[in-house]
Structure 1
Amino acid sequence: MAAHALWRKIITQNDENPFSQAPNLQAALILDCAVDESQRWADMVAFLRSLSDMEVHVAQHLSNLKRSGTPTTCIVADVFLRWAVPFAKTHALHSVSLCPMSVTNFSIFYHLNLGLEGWKDYIAESPPLQLTDIPARLIDPSRLGNEIVECFANVRRADSIVASSFYALDCKAVETQRHKTPVHLNGWIPNSFGSVHNAARPQVKEIAAGLFKSGCYFVWALRLDNDASHFSEMLPTEFIDECEGQGLIAAWFGQAEIRKHPAVGGF
């Protein structure tokens, strides 16, 4: 889920408002203008472009804050909100690009306009990148690829970056990126399984084997592929029986309820 959408979800659920115990922070609901969620994955270009309509509402809110005498010094925005960094520059605000991915992945997007050779030179201490390592939609010219290039052309002008990672996991990319733009890490790893990425069946079976051999209790939201009527068709034979009492698998779980449960040790 994009950061703006998550923000909107959080502040409209008053009973779970994380700022309720922080009296110095105030939340404001700003229309994100995004296309309906059911249509987003069908046309990602239209989705990204629809977010540009959000700028006028942020500008209005900024004006309201100014009239009320509330100082504004910084804007933190998802890297895919292409208008955010230019907006911050126009209004003399510190611009922070919020990156919902690892710094290594961010570096690929950040230098998307350089091509494969540019990436190899940039992340010099990382394993050499191969064409098969890069999503095809980013290599071949496409409407979506061009849209992402334009988003990150603005991100390169940001004053700083907040990325989703740990230093120990991303240290090489972090140190290299810091020569370009200051990078701060928020200490968590994003999860895109099921929400963005449909894993192929061989990958699903490898994940299943890893979960089983780990010996850990788990809850797994597994999206059906186009050829499956039940997730058991995608899993190793006897996997569900073997994991009885160890794991729970379903097509969907409420993330908020799962993540706040005291029994959960990792997500």
Structure 2
Amino acid sequence: MAKSHVLVIPYPLQGHVLPLMEFAHYLAKEGVKVTFVNTEAIHKVVTSNLVEKDGDEDDQMHMVSIPDGLEPLDDRKNYMKVFDSILETMPTNLEELVEKINKESNNPVTCIVADIFMGWALTFARKIGIKGAAYCPPAATTIATMICAQQWIDEGIMNSDGIPLNNDMLQLSETMPPVDPTKLEWMCAGGVTPPEESFKYVKVAIEGTKAADRIISDSSIELEPATFNAFPQLLPIGPLLASIRHAKQTGQFWEEDTSCLSWLDQQQANSVIYVAFGSSTIFDKRQFEEVAIGLELSNRPFLWVVRTDMTKENDCFPDGYEERIGSRGKIVSWAPQQKVLAHPSVGCFMSHCGWNSSLEGVTNGLPFLCLPYFTDQFLDEIIICDVWKTGLGFKKDEQGIITGEEIKSKIEQIFTEKSFKDKALELKEKVLNSVQSGGSSYQNLSNFIHWIQEIDAN
């Protein structure tokens, strides 16, 4: 009897691999055969950090890799170089992989679920006559701006490279608040990539939405009601988190330092500031120092994730910092974030506002302090602060720096104004209900898996 076999392909960044890996576990749990396709470079780091298996699910999920077209020593933090190489080489590599699977297996690939930024894979799915679904790791609101981009180009609001031709606010729909054009994902590359280059990602995403039979979003109707009402083609199936499955998160690029959990055990309830800026944020020396100073001035316990590559310079801590902080601060290179955020001692989350982190904070009822770095993180900050009203942003000084005093002030405000925690707990309850049996996301995911499992008679 024919059986569904889904090929899952993420974009090769930590924030994209993690949610698609979680989605794959949900498919495997329902008995769907999954082939998870990473680039060779990502496959190597992900598999090296796999320390536990998920029993029966592991039998259903097979992890494979294909080349990204770059040499082993090439700089994979040059995002446009990676992107261009992917477009040039990976479509052929993927086609060869599917042909190999179908030739050697009695269970051929019946569906491709691809990260929306790998939209070409969905064009390939349509070409060979199998099902295709676009998976959207960012917020649905971010995807909505991409869907609208072509219309804005056609209307002369922006040029063909996605650059707005004036500073007028952009309207996504009559029921959604207008968007500042400077906050569009491709306009916020953090100095890493010019906007017209970043817009290449959007073009691939648009290709994916057009080729896909389904567009699924790691969000819920409770989190972005206006967006899902205005863009019914987006199907909310989330948040999909390992913590909700009571399982270990897989797909990490860095080895986790679990010593921070025992440190958290020693802190008072709702007292700790958890500080983590994701896998891509880069600070200059001055801004890094100001964050450190702000945490010191707060006089509150904090757990801070400081990646080895977070700054361009070495050792950016102020002189004598770690001695002054002592045991009040815990600094690690990477943390088991979902476990940390669920810990009762954590009282707020200072975050870069990546969508994965935003979901993890929401499902643990935490208020946010928002320090976005690039791309969709600025829109996520708006969602957190203006829509959910569960967080605060920071104001920059005349030099464009967020000072230690500003950070101290906002820390004090987030801990003393009860409304932030109250709204965070209220939102947590609504979102967790959506992924439980009978909830909207639960039902959407169930229907989607049923669609995958329907094998065409021919």
TM-score calculated relative to the size of structure 1: 0.71
Aligned residue among 132, 144, 157 for 1:95: 132
Aligned residue among 296, 317, 329 for 1:247: 329
Aligned residue among 85, 91, 112 for 1:50: 85
Unaligned 5+ runs, structure 1: none
**Partner amino acid for 1:230?**
D
Aligned residue among 62, 65, 70 for 2:98: 62
Deviates more, 1:148-157 or 1:81-90: 148-157
> Is contact 2:136-2:143 (8 Å) kept?
yes
Note closer, same or farther for the CA distance 1:99–1:128 as it changes in structure 2 (3 Å cut). same
Distance 1:204 1:173 in 2: 38
Note closer, same or farther for the CA distance 1:184–1:214 as it changes in structure 2 (3 Å cut). farther
| 1:136 and 2:220 correspond | no
Q: Deviations over 1:41-81 (max 9, x none)?
A: 33x33211222322233323322333322042211112222
Residue 172 of structure 1: how far off its partner (Å) = 2.1
Residue 25 of structure 1: how far off its partner (Å) = 0.8
**Partner amino acid for 1:31?**
I
| 1:197 and 2:281 correspond | yes
What secondary structure sits across from 1:16 in the alignment? coil
What secondary structure sits across from 1:12 in the alignment? helix
**Partner amino acid for 1:265?**
A
> Is contact 2:117-2:202 (8 Å) kept?
no
**Partner amino acid for 2:280?**
V
Residue 39 of structure 1: how far off its partner (Å) = 1.5
Note closer, same or farther for the CA distance 1:111–1:197 as it changes in structure 2 (3 Å cut). farther
How many residue pairs are counted as aligned between the two chains? 254
Q: Which residue of 1 aligns with 2:57?
A: 22
> Is contact 1:163-1:183 (8 Å) kept?
yes
Deviates more, 1:194-203 or 1:61-70: 194-203
What secondary structure sits across from 1:144 in the alignment? helix
| 1:159 and 2:213 correspond | yes
Distance 1:99 1:214 in 2: 39
> Is contact 2:209-2:215 (8 Å) kept?
no
Q: Which residue of 1 aligns with 2:394?
A: none
Q: Which residue of 2 aligns with 1:121?
A: 171
Distance 2:218 2:295 in 1: 24
Q: Deviations over 1:165-188 (max 9, x none)?
A: 34433222233222x343433445
Distance 1:124 1:192 in 2: 35
Unaligned 5+ runs, structure 2: 1-13, 18-37, 153-157, 159-163, 242-274, 344-359, 361-458
Q: Deviations over 1:85-134 (max 9, x none)?
A: 10110122221222221112222233333246998332443332223323
Distance 2:90 2:123 in 1: 14
Distance 1:244 1:25 in 2: 47
| 1:169 and 2:223 correspond | yes
Note closer, same or farther for the CA distance 1:238–1:176 as it changes in structure 2 (3 Å cut). farther
TM-score calculated relative to the size of structure 2: 0.45
Distance 2:276 2:74 in 1: 17
Distance 1:69 1:101 in 2: 35
**Partner amino acid for 2:90?**
M
When the two chains are superposed, the root-mean-square deviation of aligned CA atoms in Å is 4.2
> Is contact 2:216-2:237 (8 Å) kept?
yes
Aligned residue among 219, 229, 232 for 2:304: 219
Q: Which residue of 1 aligns with 2:363?
A: none
Distance 1:264 1:183 in 2: 23
| 1:150 and 2:203 correspond | yes
> Is contact 2:303-2:329 (8 Å) kept?
yes
Q: Which residue of 2 aligns with 1:230?
A: 315
**Partner amino acid for 1:48?**
F
Structure exhibiting the larger radius of gyration computed from Cα positions: 2
Distance 1:102 1:162 in 2: 11
Give % identity.
Answer: 15
- Greater RCO between the two (CA within 8 Å, min separation 6)? 2
